[in-house]
Amino acid sequence: MESCDITAGRLHLKQYLSPRSSFLNPTTNFLPSTFLTAKTKTRYSLASLNLQNHFSFTQSSVRPDSSTMRRESATDISTTLSTDTFELANICWDDLGFGLVETDYMYLMKCSSDGTFSNGELVQFGNIELSPSSGVLNYGQGLFEGLKAYRKKDGSILMFRPEENALRMRMGAERMCMPAPTVDQFVEAVKLTVLKNKRWVPPAGKGSLYIRPLLMGSGAVLGLAPAPEYTFLIYVSPVGNYFKEGLAPINLVVENEFHRATPGGTGGVKTIGNYASVLKAQSAAKAKGYSDVLYLDSSHKKYLEEVSSCNVFIVKDRKITTPGIKGTILPGITRKSIIDVARKQGFQVEERLIPVEELLEADEVFCTGTAVVVSPVGSVTYLGKRVTYGDNGVGVVSQQLYSSLTSLQMGLMEDTMGWTVALN
């Protein structure tokens, strides 16, 4: 079996077994107090390892059957987090992609019929029960958010602009006839969920902890109407790059038959149905070798809107332009942050209608989003014509903005914008 370096802060373990092997205690999924290496058959104890950060290792069960799920209220968690010990998750951090890795805990909070959310609780990660007649399953009454937490080199954890996600969820909830947690409830729930899963936050430079808050109509409803009950849920997963290319150019195709959103619809909020509707065009594009799809407006079929799950920017000289927010485009938090960073660095930034012809004449094109941060575009194909940018490398502006924003998110530079939230 392949060896894997597992690094977090200055904790270094060298193991010669796969992450899911019998090397782990089968009932706890954690390291036993002593173990044999596969190569040398030599017995080691945890105390003999070089734990330069003096992390504590404890044994406790993870991911039991949902019928034995242990629940902890937010109050219980907040009084114990300061004394909790943790061990680093036994995965190969260098192999992280953008896929689900099941972690230890998720957060649940219910909304009563009067629109008031109760005190939430942390439960062990697992399946949830829903009525077959729930509003989210029958009528798509649901929203989600996405944000990230990063581990700094000193081992502490930073979140990026969680209050913006809370505000966007509240805006979307109003459009979808749903009650929503307050900003304080949202941010506190995210903090608790991250801290309870802190062993899953990747080491500095190895990725991030992706945080997925969900708001859904969980109450049963047969006729078309708002659900009588709502559930707010948060789960997390360590992730690497969204696109397999990483910070390397992606190749887009402009879609002129299918449309992501229409005026007066829900394209401007993060409702779940917006994403299922792009899968057909996206799948067809990927089958032809493209990375993703760039959509045009549905009225004129000539103005840029966005990529399947990203906002788009074009660069011409020292001017950066992005489609304006007009109800069919999601107001991305990374988009908003990049605009502020670019203006601070002296770029002229415009938010307006962008004819597809300007895309074809741009010096650079890049996408932004929570998952991708900044993703440079190497080529765009429109009506069979392929246009490349630069020498098919990462553009100067894309690289500059990516480096600036990720350095801020990861705590590598002073946060003069007041955007990061320290958890410990």
Burial class (CB in 10 A: 0-12, 13-18, 19+), 313: buried
Closest CA to 300 of 331, 263, 330, 274: 263
Q: How many other C-beta atoms can be found within 10 angstroms of the C-beta atom of residue 273?
A: 13
Q: Sign of the CA dihedral 36, 42, 46, 51? A: negative
Contact assessment for residue 197 and residue 209, using Cβ atoms and an 8 Å cutoff:
yes
Contact assessment for residue 35 and residue 44, using Cβ atoms and an 8 Å cutoff:
yes
Contact assessment for residue 11 and residue 101, using Cβ atoms and an 8 Å cutoff:
no
Active site residue 110: no
Rounded to whole angstroms, the Cα distance separating 80 from 88 reads 19
From the list 14, 191, 270, 319, the catalytic residue is 270
Rounded to whole angstroms, the Cα distance separating 81 from 217 reads 31
Closest CA to 358 of 321, 398, 325, 390: 321
Q: Sign of the CA dihedral 68, 74, 79, 80? A: positive
Contact assessment for residue 139 and residue 226, using Cβ atoms and an 8 Å cutoff:
no
Residues known to be catalytic = 270
